[in-house]
Chain A
Amino acid sequence: MNDPLQHIFESVSLLIPEVIITASLIITILLGLILKTNKHVILKTLALASYGLAIFIVLHHLPTTSTLLFGGMIRIDEFSSYFKFLFLTGGILGVWISGPQKENSSAEYFLLFHAVILGSCLLASSMNFIMVILSLELISLSSYLLTGFGFNKKSAEGSLKYFLFGTVATACMIYGISIIYGIAGTLDFSSELFLKNLIALSSPLLLIAGLFTLAGFLFKITAVPFHLWAPDVYESAPTPVVAFISVVPKLAGIAVLTKFTLAIHLFGQSGYNWQVILSVISLLSILIGNLSAIAQTNPKRMLAYSSVAQSGFLLVGLVAFGMDGIHFMLFYSTVFLVMNFLVFNALNQFENSYGELGIQSLAGLGTLSIIPSLAILIGFVSLTGLPPTAGFTAKLFIFGSLWGAYQQSGELILLVLFVIGLLNTVISLFFYLKIPYYLFIKEKKETANSIKSDVAGNLLSLILVIVLFYLFISPDKLMGWINKITFVL
């Protein structure tokens, strides 16, 4: 590292996907100023093209070794590359289902998408608390703005709520990090110094600092008790934005949470049992998410609570505290991305045709709009975790790793999480079936128009359904890829 400039240049050359997104971001601003007509189509194409290119590069330059960049701020490894692949896929899907914006706000809309993805990619690969804070804020600020894109009072209210909750969570996180910095003497949480100092100075302060820091990450993944913003924000934001922010920032949060908990776990030498703390959070997320979802009458509010519960399931893989738990969590993340977009895409199609909907107003629309209805049914079956969809496989794997962890550690809380988590499938079935129930079983009250034909949306549904079935019938292919990922802190 004799020549810092040289090092930075070398680092940039390994960050091509991020560079592409940044370039696309800048071009979007410029085009937004220059273009007068067809803004939406051109910028949408640009976004899809740049994400596609970035995915291509991520997949074709899969790192075999992990490389530290920018003086240890960022590390390129298989783990972060896989998450980048997920974020970019989420970006493509989110952009795909985004309808035309107001002519003068199109550029800002895509700009913010780029920013969220850029932030997520950086967050998944950061190895330093400063980097974590910066990229987390990049995601947060952009998503606050994105939720306001309904341009009505409700949307603005949701955006403001999101902002207020978010800032408090970030403040807590920074406060926690500052204490950890004080104890460890370094911001690089993969360094030996960090490990040594934390093991040496195991004070209750560490527990408090750790919990404060967790707050920021748990807010991002909408885990209990930092989930309160989700229903209001989901309800008020435009549906494509909800689909996007319910997946990409959440998975970014999961990525950094994985790194952070493994760091603070100190290879089992921590004085505090982070496994138990995470199990409790996971258990509460699953229970509270599912139980609250039952009473909802607005589909997006219901999906917000479902998203809380899904975070709980994602955390189950982390709770296992082992390599295969993390692998299964990656599999679950992939499946979650697919099924979530499947549901939101169909919901978006309904909203485009019928306007804002309560669950009850979907009554009897099943036969009028058969493709979105079937898509939403398959999406919900998968979210419940029933065969023959990949949701079942993912749940099977992730709870398998939890049982393995219980067999090893004998912590009773893990058994409780195992049993309660699986039994929650029954509770979740009750509300996940609500929408298909209204679509197919309830008779319609008045004659409704049939749905506007939407070839792109139907095509997307078809692709996502095929992926869900494929990952059920043969999960080995994807798991074979994921299994090659080694994750060292």
Chain B
Amino acid sequence: MRHLLSYLIFTPLLAAVVGLLIPATQKNTFRVFALLISIIQIVIMVLIALHYEHHDGIQLSERLPWISMDLGQWGTMKAEYFVALDGLSFPMVALSVAIISIAVISSWTIEKNQKGYFILMLILNGAIMGSFCALDFLLFYVFFEFLLLPMYFLIGIWGGPRREHASIKFFLYTLLGSILILIVIIALYLSFQDPTSGKVLVHTFNMLHMQNPENIIPGSILSIDSTDLLGPYSYRLWAFLLLFIGFAIKLPAVPLHTWLPDAHVEAPTPISVILAALLLKFGAYGLLRFAYPIFPDGAIYFSWLVGFVGVVSIIYGALNALSSKDLKRLIAYSSVSHMGFVLLGLASITVEGVTGAVYQMFSHGIISAMLFLITGVLYDRTHDRLIANYSGLASKMKVFTGFVLIAFFASLGLPGLAGFIGEVMILFGAFLSQKANGLLPIWMAIVATFGLLLGAGYYLWTIQRMFYGPFSVKIPAAEMNDLNHREYVMLLPLAMAALFFGVLPQTLLNFINPFAQQFVEALFKSASFINP
């Protein structure tokens, strides 16, 4: 039981190697194989949940030395295989296991080169688990970079007509973000020492050490007493900015979001699901896990910027969604808008805001997966995603319309569904911020509230255009059957989860709340250590 997380990470990676040995002619074995791995992961996840206790520390941790070497005059460099779970990563890992299983089921219709597809899916699977579990900055980076390559090929080979453009754009944008983060990682590891190593100077990538400003080596460029300036800001503030931009690309926040609509529109349905539900979370996850705790001074100094980018993303994303003619593009822009809420909650640095941000990450994972599956259902039948080409679907596809209503209302933040809890807590945090810590001006919260209104606007309008009115579909030969069993199996658990986490948010808050409290407390404590 001690290595549960490693089992979770390496089962799919090993399975990918095994998959290479299965001859490509055994077509349909690959999808069964991938599903089997997902089922094994679900079992492991249940075991993890049974061993998890609700408190604010890290749990189920595993530590092994990875790279340890002498740097001559600069001491020793130490990177570890360090994985563990806490109140932030537990919901994310659970979400990943669930979403990937559903994505595998959704991949059942893939015909082209099944071997390559499912092997890449397994690699992606392992890399996602690894990234969410890693507590060593280098390990996180390695896992995260590792998932870009399979993603590139999954979009590039199995995507839509403009897939070539979309996949390379996705890769270049995300890699740019990663490199900005790598710049900070290199600067960071030479500035931090392992306090447990005694007299020997050991440079570490360990997140727990990096969160403690007492471990900064005095005299290094990123040290807290350094007065060197580079242009207007100190090196620490620059480092925070680089991390913020790097993660904002992955989030994605306006104006660095342009890769997302392209990637989403061109990606095959299962990959869109993984992209929206899981990959977008790495932006916010990285800010929560790395940027904020390591640079609390930067987080406080630039909270207006983070909040402002968040508000702009909310409004700009919603306006774009309102004007989108393509259903998938609409949902992609709604993701930009919802991720803006996460930024706003984070920028407030209040317990409410941070809790809301993590809750929003989780609920958006469920809801966006549902939304992309819904477009997939339509696309499978007609190979067309233009909103204007559909009308009156409710009369032909009754069950489908039911799921669409749940997903749309959850996404626009109707009380009783999962999307509401996160957004309302974020707005609480944003309104509170001016009074509690003076970081965010109140107008940001007010403007963000209008984002909710716009959200209701584009979703309701879409429902009206596509599902009500007389039935008509522009594609002549298309048969608009209601959901088949496979689609039902994918959508039902997600719809139930959207309801469950809307009605009983406490189940999830038990995980998130201790984390958020400790996060905010530790952040202000280190900030006051840095700027007494």
Contact surface of A with B, Cβ cutoff 8 Å: 322-324, 327, 367, 381, 386-388, 392-393, 396, 399-401, 403-404, 406-407, 415, 418-419, 422-423, 425-426, 429-430, 433, 437, 440-442, 474-476, 479-480, 483
- Contact code string B178-218 (vs A, CB < 8 Å = 1, else 0): 01001100110110000000000000000000000000000
Contact B187 A422 (CB under 8 A): no
Binding stretch for chain A, among B27-35, B68-76, B307-315, B381-389: B68-76
Cβ 8 A contact of A476, one of B68, B153, B163, B183: B68
Judged by DSSP, the binding face of A is helix
Contact A381 B149 (CB under 8 A): yes
Q: Determine how close the nearest CB of chain A comes to the CB of B275; give it in whole angstroms.
A: 18
Given A425-B175, A426-B176, A433-B171, CB of A324 within 8 Å of CB of B74: yes
- Most B CB contacts (10 A, CB to CB) among A404, A425, A474 go to A404
Q: Determine how close the nearest CB of chain A comes to the CB of B174; give it in whole angstroms.
A: 10
Contact B149 A386 (CB under 8 A): yes
Contact A387 B172 (CB under 8 A): no
Contact A422 B179 (CB under 8 A): yes
A-B contact pairs, 11 of them (CB 8 A): A386-B149, A387-B146, A388-B146, A396-B182, A404-B74, A404-B190, A418-B183, A422-B186, A425-B175, A437-B168, A483-B70
**Ordered nearest first, which 7 A-B pairs have the shortest CB separation?**
A387-B142, A324-B72, A441-B156, A479-B69, A426-B176, A387-B145, A476-B69
A398: nearest residue on chain B (CB-CB)? B186
Q: Which residues of A contact B74 (CB under 8 A)?
A: 324, 404
B395 contacts partner chain A, Cβ-Cβ < 8 Å: no
Given A392-B145, A396-B186, A422-B179, CB of A476 within 8 Å of CB of B157: no
Q: How far is the CA of A429 from the CA of B332 in the complex (A)?
A: 26
Q: How far is the CA of A41 from the CA of B73 in the complex (A)?
A: 50
Cβ-Cβ contact count across A and B, 8 Å cutoff: 94
Cβ 8 A contact of A475, one of B69, B157, B163, B176: B69
Q: Which residues of B contact A327 (CB under 8 A)?
A: 72
Q: Determine how close the nearest CB of chain B comes to the CB of A61; give it in whole angstroms.
A: 24
Q: How far is the CA of A167 from the CA of B295 in the complex (A)?
A: 55
Number of B residues, CB within 8 Å of A: 39
Contact A403 B190 (CB under 8 A): yes
Contact surface of B with A, Cβ cutoff 8 Å: 67-74, 77, 113, 138, 141-142, 145-146, 148-149, 152-153, 156-157, 163-164, 167-168, 171-172, 175-176, 179, 182-183, 186-187, 189-190, 220-221, 230
Q: How far is the CA of A429 from the CA of B176 in the complex (A)?
A: 10
Q: How far is the CA of A419 from the CA of B171 in the complex (A)?
A: 20
Contact B164 A442 (CB under 8 A): yes
Q: Determine how close the nearest CB of chain A comes to the CB of B229; give it in whole angstroms.
A: 12
Q: Determine how close the nearest CB of chain B comes to the CB of A101; give it in whole angstroms.
A: 36
Q: How far is the CA of A96 from the CA of B32 in the complex (A)?
A: 42
- Most B CB contacts (10 A, CB to CB) among A322, A418, A429 go to A429
Contact A419 B157 (CB under 8 A): no
Q: Determine how close the nearest CB of chain B comes to the CB of A435; give it in whole angstroms.
A: 13
Contact A430 B187 (CB under 8 A): no
Contact A388 B168 (CB under 8 A): no
Given A404-B190, A419-B183, CB of A387 within 8 Å of CB of B113: no
Contact A367 B113 (CB under 8 A): yes
Q: Determine how close the nearest CB of chain B comes to the CB of A177; give it in whole angstroms.
A: 32
Q: How far is the CA of A404 from the CA of B74 in the complex (A)?
A: 8
Q: Which residues of A contact B179 (CB under 8 A)?
A: 422-423, 425-426
A480: nearest residue on chain B (CB-CB)? B69
Contact B164 A483 (CB under 8 A): no
Known: A323-B73, A367-B113. 8 other contacts (CB 8 A): A322-B72, A324-B73, A386-B148, A388-B146, A406-B221, A423-B176, A426-B176, A479-B69
Q: How far is the CA of A134 from the CA of B71 in the complex (A)?
A: 36
Q: Which residues of A contact B190 (CB under 8 A)?
A: 400, 403-404, 407
Contact A392 B142 (CB under 8 A): yes
Contact B176 A422 (CB under 8 A): no
Contact B72 A407 (CB under 8 A): no
Given A429-B175, A441-B153, A483-B69, CB of A400 within 8 Å of CB of B145: no
